[in-house]
Amino acid sequence: MFKNGQIHDVIVKNLSKFIDERGWLSELFRGDELGKEFMPAMSYVSMTQAGVARGPHEHVDQADLFAFIGPSNFKIYLWDNRKDSPTYNVRQVFYAGQDSPRSVIIPKGVVHAYKNVGGTLGMVLNFPNRLFAGEGKKSPVDEIRHEQDPKTIYQLD
């Protein structure tokens, strides 16, 4: 059903680590490089056990800006579920993390998942453009969780 390729509007950016005797520093995003539709409204960090996946899920109105910088490495899976997109039904898979630091902007309507393929606990940062559960956490959560469907078409390998 899906063909492999790059998904329209998904932005994958290699991140540079600036290393000195104190450690390292990496810019994750800059306001002067982001479109207004991707400007973060909040941030959070998650830790994922080795061999564990999060997703697949999608958002109706939210875009995610993930940063995979380590520790550990991740396999990222994206499926374009936007019927009006020139890359509708395209699947994009790539790696990111400690060995290949990257940020990824995932527009609304793009189904996404990631799996920790490294041998250690892995950290992922996210800077979504919407507040989780809205202002004061009083709104429905903007997620369609495909991982809860055993017959989902969005399969990780």
Which domains, and CATH codes, for the chain?
3-19+33-148 (2.60.120.10)
b/e sequence 40-60, b meaning 16+ C-beta within 10 Å: beeeeeeebeeeebebbbbbe
Distances (CA, A) of 151 to 52, 89, 93, 154: 19, 17, 20, 9
**pLDDT averaged over the chain?**
97
Distance between CA 60 and CA 107 in Å, rounded? 9
Backbone angles phi, psi at 49, to 5 degrees: -65, 150
Q: Give the chain's radius of gyration (CA, Å).
A: 16
Paired tokens of 2:
């899906």
Indicate the pTM of the whole model.
0.95
With contact defined as beta carbons under 8 Å apart, do 99 and 30 qualify?
no
List pLDDT tens digits, range 63-114. 999 999 999 999 999 999 999 999 999 999 999 999 999 999 999 999 999 9
For residues 4-11, average pLDDT: 97
Distance between CA 144 and CA 157 in Å, rounded? 20
pLDDT of residue 49: 98
Distance between CA 3 and CA 86 in Å, rounded? 13
Say which amino acid occupies 100: S
Question: In a 10 Å sphere around its CB, with 0-12 CB exposed, 13-18 middle and 19+ buried, how is residue 103 labelled?
Answer: buried
pLDDT of residue 92: 98
pLDDT of residue 1: 85
Check pLDDT > 90 for residue 157. no
pLDDT of residue 43: 98
With contact defined as beta carbons under 8 Å apart, do 80 and 110 qualify?
yes
List pLDDT tens digits, range 11-44. 999 999 999 999 999 999 999 999 999 999 999 9
